[in-house]
């Protein structure tokens, strides 16, 4: 079972640049129950190194984290891994300036309202190491959030967080 999860994670890293990671991580925060918020669930935007066709390429990725457990629901996958293993495989360095940002529920939703897209919001674009050579390889960064969802977020921020 552990190996199956690991293979699923490798698939996520291979497809991440083409996928919906920012939207998937953001939606989790929007629907986050109070007890998960109080427990410390975060939305994380970070630079990762890809696998498969994207091996060696560094790009922005988003996932959720609670303590030392990572939840990555991008591209229709459900990956739950220990932070240590996830960070090692994706070569994530949380101390590298501009390469790693964590957001709580409120900050996630405030940024959605401010930027009107799912992310990334505060990663340093100068850290991207290789420009995609095919337009199809450009991920869905800064994917706009619909006005209806923005209104839902605004309502939550203004009264129910």
User: Taking the chain (161 residues) in consecutive chunks of 10 residues, what is each chunk's mean pLDDT?
Assistant: 50 58 96 96 95 84 97 92 96 96 97 96 85 49 85 83 49
pLDDT at 155: 87
Check residue 76 and give its pLDDT. Answer: 87
- Predicted local confidence at residue 53, as pLDDT: 78
| Residues pairing with 61 in the sheet | 46
Residues 6+ apart with CB under 8 A from 43: 25, 26, 28, 29, 62, 64, 102, 103, 104, 105, 108
With 0.85 as the threshold, say if the pTM is over it.
no
The CA-based dihedral angle spanning residues 74, 77, 81, 84, taken in that order and rounded to the nearest 10 degrees: -40
């Amino acid at each position: 079972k552990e190996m199956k999860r690991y293979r699923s994670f490798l698939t996520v890293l291979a497809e991440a640049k083409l996928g919906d990671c920012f939207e998937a991580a953001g939606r989790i925060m929007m629907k986050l129950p109070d007890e998960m918020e109080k427990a410390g669930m975060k939305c994380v935007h970070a630079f990762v190194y890809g696998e498969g066709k994207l091996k060696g390429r560094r790009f922005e990725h988003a996932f959720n984290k609670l303590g030392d457990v990572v939840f990555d629901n991008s591209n229709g996958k459900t990956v739950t891994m220990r932070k240590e293993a996830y960070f090692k495989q994706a070569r994530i360095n949380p101390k590298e300036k501009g390469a790693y940002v964590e957001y709580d529920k409120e900050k996630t939703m405030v940024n959605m309202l401010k930027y009107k897209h799912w992310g990334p919001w505060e990663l340093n674009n100068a850290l991207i190491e290789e420009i995609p050579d095919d337009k199809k390889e450009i991920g869905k960064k800064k994917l706009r959030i619909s006005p209806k969802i923005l209104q839902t977020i605004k309502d939550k921020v203004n009264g129910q967080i």
